[in-house]
Amino acid sequence: MKRFLGVAAMAWALAGGAAWAGEKFLWVESERANVRAEPRVGARVVARASFGERLLAVEKVGDWYRVALADGSFGYVHEDVVTDEAPGHLWVEVDRATVRQAPLAEAKAVAEVERGTMLESDGARGDWFHVRWGDGRSGWIHEQEVDDDPPATLFVITDRAVLHATPSPDAEAVASLPVGASLQELGKAGQFVEVRTDNGETGYVFKDAVSDERPTWLFVKVSDAAVVARPAVDAEVVARLPSGAEVLAFDETHDFYLVLLEDGRVGWLHEDDAIPMGKR
């Protein structure tokens, strides 16, 4: 059987190698789709495509799409077995979700994926989604274990945030989190939020240490603006910023912004000394 259009051939077709306008991608939504030599039932099968496979259509002939094959030839696939709706994304919303070989609860488990993992969904059967992820693995996952809303992104807004192993202030510290660090929210547990860091560590952080508000750029409008150790006019000065400097602010309290300096230190800048320019 022939293979479908590869990356190089796709680029050739989209760049003008195909003789027809209106090329578009299709995705197979039946268990197996026959690609035929002619646009009619009973014509010789020249290739077969599996569920979720992507095809490049270059022409519509009645109820059939003409699709490009890897060797530069073409075949026809019926419109009933494909869709032009691009795959969507799903996120695992349980601690560990089971991916199965078939859309059945008793089907063999092929993998387990953690909460917050993003999956590409290219079709559904009843209560099950067919998904792909990571290094090209695929399988079926039940709708109760996923959500089509992505997890919230949180930002650390204090300079002493700690990632704990469990939702308790007395729990083992997994890591210290710098101001401005972005985290993926996995869930809530009382006064704590379960999160995943950019390097894959998971744990719990005190909810007041993070915010779902994106950092704000500030433009320093005065010369020699003082950055102080705490949000008070009589606090120790830890740095000074020239007029025109730009810094990121992660929190605001008592007329002061919590800002991140270039050397990684944090401090407080009075609101009279800066102009907000917008979100990061």
Q: Give pLDDT tens digits for 151-201.
A: 788 888 877 789 999 999 999 998 989 888 889 888 888 999 999 888 888
Q: Residue 179, SS3?
A: coil
**Is residue 1, in this structure, part of any structural domain at all?**
no
Within 13 A of 83's CA, how many CA atoms are on the CB side? 11
**Would the pLDDT of 3 be above 60?**
no
Task: List pLDDT tens digits, range 227-251.
Answer: 999 999 999 999 999 999 998 888 8
Residue 246 and residue 199 share a domain? no
Give rounded-to-5 percent helix, strand, coil for the chain.
10, 50, 40
- Which of 147, 162, 180 is the last residue before a domain boundary? 147
**Is residue 245, in this structure, part of any structural domain at all?**
yes
Identify the domain containing residue 16 by its residue range. Answer: 7-83
Task: List pLDDT tens digits, range 71-115.
Answer: 778 999 999 998 887 778 898 888 889 999 999 999 999 999 988
Residue 244 and residue 229 share a domain? yes
- Which of 105, 128, 147 is the last residue before a domain boundary? 147
Residue 11 and residue 79 share a domain? yes
Residue 268 and residue 250 share a domain? yes
Q: What is the CATH number of the domain that holds 75?
A: 2.30.30.40
Residue 14 and residue 79 share a domain? yes
Residue 15 and residue 65 share a domain? yes
**Is residue 2, in this structure, part of any structural domain at all?**
no
Residue 167 and residue 134 share a domain? no
Distance CA 192, CA 23 (A): 50
What domain count does the chain have? 4
Q: Which string of DSSP letters, residue by residue, matches the chain? A: -PPBP-HHHHHHIIIIISSSS--EEEEE-SSEEEEESSSSTTSPEEEEEETT-EEEEEEEETTEEEEEBTTS-EEEEEGGGEE-SPPEEEEE-SSEEEEESSSSTTSPEEEEEETT-EEEEEEEETTEEEEEETTTEEEEEEGGGEESSPPPEEEE-STTEEEESSSSTTSPEEEEE-TT-EEEEEEEETTEEEEE-TTS-EEEEEGGGEESSPPEEEEE-STTEEEESSSSTTSPEEEEE-TT-EEEEEEEETTEEEEE-TTS-EEEEEGGGEEEEEE-
Quick check: 98 and 141 in contact, CB under 8 A? Answer: yes
Residue 232 and residue 201 share a domain? no
- Mean per-residue pLDDT, 199-221: 88
- Which of 211, 239, 254 is the last residue before a domain boundary? 211
**Is residue 21, in this structure, part of any structural domain at all?**
yes
**Is residue 112, in this structure, part of any structural domain at all?**
yes
pTM of the model: 0.50
